[in-house]
Chain A
Amino acid sequence: MPTIEVKKDLLFKALGRKYSFEEFDELGFEFGLEAEEPEEEEILQNPDLANVWKIEIPANRYDLLCIEGISRALLVFLEQKQCPRYTTVKPQKLQQMKILPATKQVRPHGVAAVLRNIKFTPDSYRSFIDLQDKLHHNLCRRRTLVAIGTHDLDTIQGPFIYDAKPPKDIKFKPLSQAKEFTAPEMMEMYSLDSHLKPYLPIIRDKPVYPVIYDRNNVVLSMPPIINGDHSKITLDTRNVFIESTATDLNKAKIVLDTLVTMFSEYCDQPFTVEPVEVTHSDGSVHLYPELPYRYEEVDVEDVNKKVGISISAENMSNLLTKMLEHVIHPCDVIEDVAIAYGYNKIVKKIPATSTIADQFPVNKLTDLLRQEVACAGFTEVLTFALCSRDDVATKMRKNIKDSNAVHIANPKTLEFQIGRTTLLPGVLKTISNNKNMPLPLKLLPFLDVMLVIIVQSEQGYYIKSCKDATYFEGRCAEIIFNNSVIGKIGVLHPEVLKEFELTNPCSCMEFSIEPFL
């Protein structure tokens, strides 16, 4: 879940009162936020942290990723403020953005909006930049799905063109650089930049790169990598042009809506946004942001039934005005009612569902065997289900091709290359890591591949001498049950022991218990 850092004094100012940490934690708990105070040690090392609280935000609440959103939502939740109504206000002449068909090859969608007559303070400016960062990281999936660019509208002139061009044809002065670079030069330069490096692969191998420019051919940005220096916004910027380019149009719209609803608060006419006319590559024309208001009807009785409460329609609608949220299904409304009502006020009732319990047969058998084998003096160990290829092949004197192993495509370490095909390596590694323990070691892992000891012969199975590279010659046998081989018993080959850095001889048995179900 995303976490944001807020300055305490700013939060109190926005909420209109001071909170002790406990008070705020309590409020957050009821609403679904988790607050964290800095440790005393951290404050000692960095006194500035004393003013900072970390707040964990539910992963679907993009509207809470900045202090503006959190304070607005909490004030509404506390019924100290009404949910603002966001509106678009058309100017005499609309700003326009045209998306050219070439973008289809790399990043087909784009939306835009203008925040007119905004006044930033150093804090709100910082928050504006931070929110873009947070959105990039969460909803935009590290800019792969959506990338946001914000520009000082007074430095550029529409109409704007969103195009895609061969990299060598793109040349401009990127943010915070003194001179112009071509796109390939920038890609080269930013491959050493720890902040931008992760975004390069999104477009690196494409034949064309996305680029946005204005009527005078001033480059606004090369999404999703970097903006131009020319149109950068500053504390003094009064009119902000926001574009967001995407592979996922729906998410681009949500991102745009989030940014403008959060920061239109600072416009001369608060909570209003100036729309931009976007011509898509298929020729269709749309105004953005859409700021959609949807009407969803829910049945009061149904909500009561699903939450397990009984309140009037009027009460319920009062509760609902405390919540503002992205709703995609009526069940989201039910959740809002429940949160506004207070989860911990709902009466707990045991479901009247009557059922007869049943164990899963293989687990039942395993549990019985575990007890018996422990009674026989064995110690149960717990080994990993993943291991290296060497563990089941080279070290066991076998060929990986004969193992029928399941291979992992993206293991972070060599220890997790394949799913285990046998329990032996895990047990041998455990012994190797416990050489200080008194001998003899009698271990058994009872997992999805099994290893146990047969004490005496019983009806139905027998053992038959066999050859196996893992075992010392002449000291290995197959366990045969109902005419099929279910496992092996024997003395491990000295070379296997050596591979696992073991010094003492070792005998073992491994077989499947599934035939005994």
Chain B
Amino acid sequence: MADLQGRLLLALKEKSIINSEDLAREWQEDHQKIVGAIKSLQTHYGIINAEPINTTRWQLTDEGDVVAKYGSHEARVYNAVPQQGITRDELLKSVPQYGEIGFSKAMQEKWIEINNQKVYRKIDRIDDKIQSMLKKVLTGNINDLSDEQKTECKKRKLINEGKMTVYKVSKGEMFTLDIERLETELTPEMIANGSWRDKKFKPYDMDALGIPPDAGHLHPLLKVRTEYRQIFLEMGFTEMPTNNFIESSFWNFDALFQPQQHPARDAHDTFFISEPRDANINMIPNDYLQCVKKVHSEGGYGSQGYKYDWKIEDSTKNILRTHTTAVSARMLYKLAQEREFKPVKYFSIDRVFRNETTDSTHLAEFHQIEGLVADRGLTLGNLMGVINEFFKKLGLTKLRFKPTYNPYTEPSMEIFSFHDGLKKWVEVGNSGVFRPEMLLPMGLPEDVSVIAWGLSLERPTMIKYKIQDIRTLIGPRVDLQMVYNNPLCRVEKAAI
């Protein structure tokens, strides 16, 4: 290398302007090596000026390299045929990887023939034109090739047109033939003996990426979860225990006044458990169970009910919970059993399951964020107020509410936020006031209202980190590079 640098400087001294490609041909050197020498000379300030010129050039492919070095595949096959003949299989072994192509080309050229299942040479000598063509390309004499020859080489994928940067090099203002050896790093010895004062140091390339330090990484979805969790805690919400993936249909549906013929309870929407198939019926307090049965089938608490035949068998079926609202129902029931009602604010962020086939926007497992407030005399205005504060902490200030239907809330509102990027209103959550048919059977006082809202964790995460395919975010196909690269999560700094 150092030698090449010296030769380059000598050449410059004579010619004052040189072209890296010409030099490579003249010296029969690899062009990349010349470029390397130019680059390292550039690190010394002012010795040379080098101007990059982008061009396209015919160059050898990896396969072309092999041919230029060892001969065409057909020639190698021909050369491997001994006087006494050889089996085809044996022959193919002599030209690894390209044996098949070489064999069929050699047959086409009528260089070899098959007799009694053995391969023999058909002619005495051959002329490996392909190899000589490629050698010309290698030495930069591609113009010696006819257009047909070029096309043939291209068709056989031996050459292709690639980008190449050629350098025009001229003398710099401090041109010299003697290059001083530059120090790369400051060492403890230099500091101790002060020798750093007399040394010259190689300049740093400040445009380089640098070496990333070894580091651990948290998963982006869970970083976003941490942020949401923090927001709830800042707002005085207590975390609900959601550490149960399996739930009985009773808590997941019936307790929420969701009728037993509701489409969400179909096997094609919900994962049912075959083992253990049924929840222990004694786990559900019997008096509460009877109240739920009554309000579903006959009504009560001021309600007409759904007027259908409510079945206990349907409510004990175990399922993978389809929403964390099942946990909210358990918590509210527990609250109702307290001797004196105390207002609460609860939240949870956890995984829920839907029996869906997965695609780029759907998974069978995802995370649900849920918040609720239970107090005396809460209004719809309070629900909108608390949702407003919540989304403000997420950086969303333009909110709008749309009437919607949920089986267990009335009134119900979808929450929309104006997306500055998409220039339209997008749905960011769902909310409502839990129905009296859900709360009164639990035993909560009549003047207690429970307001609640929910959203998915995946959607904001995908928008924030610009993830197109949800399957690269969760599950075995997680893109680890994405996890390594993903930045800090400050939800309020990015529009959802």
Give the interface of A toward B (CB within 8 A).
1, 29-32, 34, 58-61, 138, 141, 145, 248, 250-251, 305-309, 328-332, 334-335, 338-339, 343-344, 346-360, 362-363, 367, 370-371, 373-386, 406-413, 416, 419, 426, 429-430, 432-434, 437, 441-443, 446, 448
Contacts and interface: CB of A to CB of B under 8 A. Distances in A.
B483 A381 contact: yes
Contacts of B299: 328
A29 B414 CA distance: 10
Given A349-B379, A353-B375, A360 B245 contact: no
Contact of B222 (A349, A370, A384): A370
A309 B381 contact: yes
A406 B272 contact: no
A59 B436 contact: no
Contact of A353 (B218, B268, B365, B373): B373
B78 to A, nearest CB: 39
Contacts of A60: 405, 407
A328 B305 contact: yes
B401 interface: yes
Contacts of A353: 343, 345, 373, 375, 378
Contacts of B237: 355, 357
B381 A308 contact: yes
Contacts of B496: none
Contacts of A251: 308
Nearest to A338: B411
A32 B403 contact: yes
Given A380-B218, A386-B364, 6 more contacts: A329-B301, A331-B410, A335-B411, A351-B373, A357-B239, A426-B475
Contacts of A58: 403-405
Question: Which of A370, A432, A442 has the largest number of chain B CB atoms within 10 A?
Answer: A370
Contact of A248 (B261, B404, B410, B484): B261
B216 A378 contact: yes
Nearest to B357: A412
B217 A380 contact: yes
A329 B435 contact: yes
Contact of A354 (B236, B243, B301, B412): B236
Nearest to A307: B380
B402 A343 contact: yes
**Chain A binding site: helix, strand, loop or mixed by DSSP?**
loop
A382 B478 contact: yes
Question: Which of B234, B246, B303 has the largest number of chain A CB atoms within 10 A?
Answer: B303
B275 to A, nearest CB: 4
Nearest to A350: B385
The 6 tightest CB contacts between A and B, nearest first, are A308-B381, A308-B379, A32-B403, A429-B476, A374-B216, A58-B405
Contact of B384 (A348, A354, A416): A348
A432 B476 CA distance: 8
A19 to B, nearest CB: 18
Contacts of A362: 243
B445 to A, nearest CB: 15
A199 B142 CA distance: 73
Given A355-B343, A377-B216, A441 B476 contact: no
B320 to A, nearest CB: 7
A375 B403 contact: no
Contacts, number: 259
Contact of B271 (A381, A408, A442, A448): A408
Contact of B308 (A1, A248, A348): A248
A351 B351 contact: no
B352 to A, nearest CB: 10
Contacts of B214: 377
Contacts of B411: 307, 331, 334-335, 338-339
B384 A434 contact: no
Given A59-B405, A382-B475, A350 B480 contact: no
Contact of B480 (A383, A386, A430): A430
B267 interface: yes
Give the size range of B's interface with the partner. Answer: 35 or more
A367 B226 contact: yes
Given A348-B385, A360-B239, A430-B480, A410 B267 contact: yes
A382 B216 contact: no
12 contacts: A32-B404, A250-B308, A331-B433, A338-B411, A343-B413, A348-B385, A350-B386, A355-B238, A382-B221, A383-B478, A410-B268, A441-B480
A516 to B, nearest CB: 15
Contacts of B375: 351-353
A412 B355 contact: yes
A201 to B, nearest CB: 13
Interface in B146-167: none
Contacts of A374: 216-218
Given A359-B239, A411-B271, A338 B380 contact: yes
Contact of B403 (A343, A350, A385, A407): A343
B93 to A, nearest CB: 27
A285 to B, nearest CB: 20
B216 A434 contact: no
B146 to A, nearest CB: 42
Given A248-B261, A382-B478, A344 B401 contact: yes
Contacts of A29: 400, 402
Interface in B185-223: 214-219, 221-222
Contacts of B245: 385, 419, 448
Contacts of A31: 403
Contact of A349 (B217, B382, B480, B484): B382
B449 interface: yes
Contacts of A306: 379-380, 433, 449
Given A59-B405, A350-B382, A357-B233, A382 B222 contact: yes
B474 A384 contact: yes
Given A248-B261, A359-B233, A379-B484, A328 B304 contact: yes
A60 B407 CA distance: 8
Given A330-B302, A386-B353, A408-B272, A419 B385 contact: no
Interface in B360-406: 364-365, 373, 375, 377-382, 384-386, 388-389, 400-405
A357 B232 contact: yes
B39 to A, nearest CB: 26
A406 B273 contact: yes
A31 B241 CA distance: 37
B236 A357 contact: yes
B388 A348 contact: yes
A406 B275 contact: yes
A29 B478 CA distance: 38
A329 B302 contact: yes
Contacts of B410: 329, 331-332, 334-335
A158 to B, nearest CB: 28
B212 to A, nearest CB: 11
A222 to B, nearest CB: 23
